[in-house]
């Protein structure tokens, strides 16, 4: 099939993710009208969504004096989640009715536009040291300790001045980037922010005893958060995607897990067998 030169409309203004975006040319790619137009299949290419990428752009300022806290948070949110749900949303338009005619029909007028709320939920596989559960527990106690209903930060940093607790003190901001299959910044599908994120609970620790049973706990934590989605969040997503450069990584030349035999395994196994064979096999005819 020949490449179509009209499959994409560029700089689409308000109908694309951003004014400089590219979208499918629906007017030439329609396949379900009178009949198919196979020469224009490029313009009817179905869209696929790969897993979304979360990028932590702000961590709670109370983490600044906690060793490894920022590192753990970035790793958990960006690289360790088995699943992320509760971040999907829609736009809703409410209507108010008024009677039209005498047969009970109603004319509706748009009254209120809304975004549906988000409640991000991250699921992780617990790791050595019960790190994830303890990290979320520390985050919660730094907001309010259950024994005092006061932030634990003041007690930990008793020798330093502590500013009044602000949203930025205990919450995080996460940028979510929906890439297309090329992973290139200029082709991202969408980008949105969830701000003021902080955990609702640790989830149950999983302590129990059933003889003969060993468990491998998951940690599912739901966060509060506010959604921000507009043209500028998509532009920021593009800018940050350019900085990160995911598309530059070529896993075809990734580092092998080993490039030689470990020293304590030398002259063993097949290598030993070959050495013994070379030294003992002789040509009887010679």
Q: What is the pLDDT of residues 247-262, one digit of tens each?
A: 999 999 999 999 999 9
Between residues 132 and 284, which one has the greater pLDDT?
A: 132
Which SS3 state, helix, strand or coil, does residue 275 take?
helix
Query: Which strand ranges, in their side-by-side order, compose the sheet holding 121-125?
Result: 53-58, 172-178, 190-199, 218-228, 121-125, 83-85
pLDDT exceeds 80 at position 282: yes
Token pair, residue 182, equals: 């090329």
pLDDT exceeding 90 applies to what percent of the chain? Answer: 81
| Tokens standing for residue 87 | 């971040």
pTM over cut 0.75: yes
Say which residue, 75 or 15, is predicted with more confidence: 75
pLDDT band at 155 (very low <50, low <70, confident <90, very high): confident
Length of the chain: 286
Residue 15 or 254, more confident: 254
The confidence score (pLDDT) of residue 145 equals: 93
pLDDT of residue 159: 66
Percent of the chain that is helix, strand, coil (3-state, to 5): 30, 25, 45
pLDDT digits (tens, 9 = 90+) for 208-262: 999 999 999 999 999 999 999 999 999 999 999 999 999 999 999 999 999 999 9
pLDDT of residue 144: 94
Q: Is the pLDDT of residue 9 over 70?
A: yes
Determine phi and psi for 118, rounding to 5 degrees.
-115, 150
> What mean pLDDT is predicted for residues 193-207?
97
Q: What is the pLDDT of residues 35-84, one digit of tens each?
A: 999 999 999 999 999 999 999 999 999 998 889 999 999 999 999 999 99
In this predicted structure, what is the pLDDT of residue 105?
Answer: 97
pLDDT of 26 above 70:
yes
Left (φ > 0), alpha (ψ -120 to 50) or beta: where does 126 sit?
A: beta
Q: Are 140 and 133 in contact (CB under 8 A)?
A: no
To the nearest whole percent, how much of the chain has pLDDT over 70? 97
Secondary structure (3-state) at 180: coil
DSSP H or E stretch at residue 196: strand 190-199
> Predicted confidence band at 138 (pLDDT cuts at 50, 70, 90)?
very high
SS (H, E, C) 86-149: CCCCCEEEEEEEEECCCCCCEEEEEEEEEECCCCCEEEEECCHHHHHHHHHHHHHHHHCCCCCC
């Amino acid at each position: 099939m020949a490449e179509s030169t009209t499959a994409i409309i560029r700089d689409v203004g308000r109908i694309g993710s951003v004014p400089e975006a590219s979208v499918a040319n629906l007017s030439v790619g329609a396949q379900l009208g009178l009949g198919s137009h196979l020469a224009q299949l490029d313009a009817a290419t179905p869209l696929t969504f790969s897993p979304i990428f979360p990028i932590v752009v702000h961590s709670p300022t109370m983490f600044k004096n906690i060793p490894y806290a920022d590192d753990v948070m970035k790793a958990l949110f960006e690289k360790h989640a088995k699943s992320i749900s509760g971040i999907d949303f829609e736009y809703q338009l409410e209507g108010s009715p008024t009677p039209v005619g005498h047969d009970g029909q109603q004319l509706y007028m748009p009254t209120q536009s809304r975004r549906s709320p988000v409640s991000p939920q991250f699921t992780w596989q617990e790791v050595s040291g019960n790190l994830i559960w303890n990290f979320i527990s520390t985050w919660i106690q730094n907001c309010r300790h259950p024994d005092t209903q006061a932030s634990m930060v003041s007690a930990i940093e008793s020798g330093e001045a502590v500013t009044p607790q602000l949203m930025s003190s205990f919450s995080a901001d996460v940028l979510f980037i929906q890439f297309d299959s090329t992973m290139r910044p200029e082709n991202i599908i969408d980008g949105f922010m969830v701000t003021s994120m902080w955990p609702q609970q640790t989830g149950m620790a999983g302590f129990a005893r059933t003889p003969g049973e060993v468990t491998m706990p998951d940690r599912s934590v739901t966060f509060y958060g506010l959604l921000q989605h507009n043209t500028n969040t998509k532009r920021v997503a593009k800018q940050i995607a350019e900085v990160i450069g995911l598309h530059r990584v070529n896993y075809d030349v990734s580092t092998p897990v080993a490039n030689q035999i470990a020293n304590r395994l030398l002259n063993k196994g097949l290598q030993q067998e070959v050495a013994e064979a070379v030294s003992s096999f002789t040509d009887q005819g010679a």
